Structure 1
Amino acid sequence: MSPADDGTLRKLAGTLSGVARTLQAEPDVETTVSAIVKVALDYVAGAEYAGIALVERGRIHTVAPTGEIVRAIDKLQYDLREGPCVDAIAEHQTYRVGNVGRERRWPSFGPAAARNGIHSLLSYRLFVSDRTLGALNFYSSRVDAFDQRTEDDGTLFATHAAIALIGAQREAQLSLAIDNRDIISTAKGILMERHDIDAAEAFRILVEASQSANLKLHQTAAWFVENRGQG
């Protein structure tokens, strides 16, 4: 390895360490995603725009785009069901495209993207283990904006981004679970005090009410607490 290559690797390692610390400090999923996109755009050479296509409940939607053009290009892919972003998610691969208007793999999306002024795209699957979170996408109005080295560097960044994103999602789920548990406990306490019943009976009443109203248990409990058992 030449001194120049060694210096580049050291710089890359330092950058990724800083990125990891930055993302880890973000408090929730929305802020984490926004931070990922902001840092990514600064980090990936040749990128003019960036965004994340997030998979939630089996559907893909764009979050934290750095420009409206990102939403437009992503919507084309979702509507046409073709393009580097949807393929990165479905095929579990990275896609680098230098002239999308002439790309035979996406005969409908490619020309449409080019007409919107986007010619180069770079899409990474965001995943941990076998779980796909979505895709990290970069866009440029220039032809051949991304080279192999850019793709390789971006792969390392996408790995850190996926770890940060899954961590934020799990923390959000834990926080929601705790909030739901607390609201259910509060509702049980109101029922116990009002009707002089034990915890098991109060819980049974909440379960029956949630089934009758076709609501989740925590939604029933929240309504009960808000209305303090009225009705």
Structure 2
Amino acid sequence: MSWRRFAQQMATMSRDLLKQDSVDTTLARITASATELIGDCDAAGILVVHGGAVETLAPTGQLVIDSDAVQERLGEGPCFDTAQATSEEPVFRIPDLAAQEQRWPRFAPEARELGIGSMMGFLLFTDDENDFGALNLYSRKPGAFTEDSEMAGWLLASHAAVAFSGARTHGRMEYAVATRHTIGQAMGILMNSRNLTSEQAFDVLRRYSQERNIKLREVARQLNEQGSLP
């Protein structure tokens, strides 16, 4: 591996990540970069665990989706363990799934049936202690991933974690702004139709939300669309 060329490619990827306008496009650029930067990497994806629920993000191919589904069904597997931060190490590398794999005895045979020869995974540390994710790399070729591949993947995962966290923060900010705008429109409708102050209008929305167990943003959206509370 030419580390000079790798560093240049990483720099280009970092600039590209800053241009992405959503969490989804940021993650898609990260997984695409893995297949571009790491030799013999045929597919990549991010497995995220939210309070026990498993989600596959930005898969570059069906192989990623199938592998994650097998691990969720079995309740074991390298990506599954790493994404839950239950592994002893924040990185795993399986050089050859054709060899006997003691760590995940039920997953390994099914992975071979999917056509997976080698795997690597890297824990994505974020600023949210309740969410864990793993960047997972796949090769159909046994013995594809070397120590150099692992180092390259670790460097990519470090950038990915920062981008992932930043993109989620940006997404939350955009959502908060949109929510305030939606609620503000609804308050304006109530103030005009019922001759209320802004505080009184917000209190009407809040009480309606609590009494019917509907999120405040959803109440505001319905009011904006229908012109009155349902």
Please give the TM-score of this superposition, normalised by the length of structure 1.
0.91
**CA shift digits 1:184-217 (9 cap, x unpaired):** 1111111111111111111110011111221111
| SS of alignment partner, residue 142 of structure 1 | coil
- SS of 2:9's equivalent in the other structure is helix
Aligned residues: 225
CA distance in 1, matches of 2:148, 2:36: 16
CA drift of 1:18 comes to 1.2
Equivalent residue in structure 1 for 2:25, among 19, 22, 31: 31
Partner-residue secondary structure (3-state), 2:125: strand
Is the Cα–Cα contact under 8 Å of residues 87 and 93 in structure 1 kept in the other structure? Answer: no
Matched, 1:56 2:55: no
Distance 2:51 2:223 in 1: 28
The equivalent of 2:107 in structure 1 is 109
Q: CA deviation at 1:130?
A: 6.5
Question: Deviation of residue 48 (structure 1)?
Answer: 1.1
Structure 1 residues 62-71 or 216-225, which shifts more?
62-71
- The residue aligned with 2:167 is 168
Distance 1:9 1:138 in 2: 19
Distance in 2, Cα, partners of 1:10 & 1:140: 24
Q: Deviations over 1:94-129 (max 9, x none)?
A: 000012241100010011111221121011111135
Report if the CA contact (8 A) 1:52-1:137 is conserved. Answer: yes
8 Å contact from structure 2 (residues 124, 161) kept in 1: yes
Whether the aligned pair in 1 keeps the contact of 2:123 and 2:133 (CA below 8 Å) is yes
Q: How does 1:1-231 map to 2 (within 5 A)?
A: 8-89=2-83, 90=85, 91=87, 93-101=90-98, 102-129=100-127, 131=129, 132-229=131-228, 231=230
Tell me, what secondary structure is at the counterpart of 1:128?
Answer: coil
In 2, distance between residues paired with 1:50 and 1:136? Answer: 7
| AA matched with 1:75 | A
Q: TM-score, normalised by structure 2?
A: 0.91
Query: Within 1, Cα distance between the matches of 2:48 and 2:191?
Result: 43
- Note if contact 1:60-1:134 (Cα within 8 Å) is conserved in structure 2: no
- The secondary structure found in structure 1 opposite 2:66 is helix
Q: Distance in 1 between matches of 2:51 and 2:227?
A: 33
| SS, match of residue 119 in structure 2 | strand
Shift of 1:133: 4.0
| Identical pairs, percent | 35
Structure 1 gaps of 5+ residues are none
Q: How many Å apart are 1:9 and its aligned residue?
A: 4.1
The 2-side partners of 1:196 and 1:152 are apart by: 65
Q: Given that residues 23 and 161 in structure 1 are in contact (C-alpha distance below 8 angstroms), is that contact kept between their aligned partners in structure 2?
A: no
Please list every run of 5 or more consecutive structure 2 residues that lacks an aligned counterpart in the other structure: none
Q: CA shift at 1:168, angstroms?
A: 1.0
Contact 1:44–1:154 (CA<8 Å) still a contact in 2?
Answer: yes
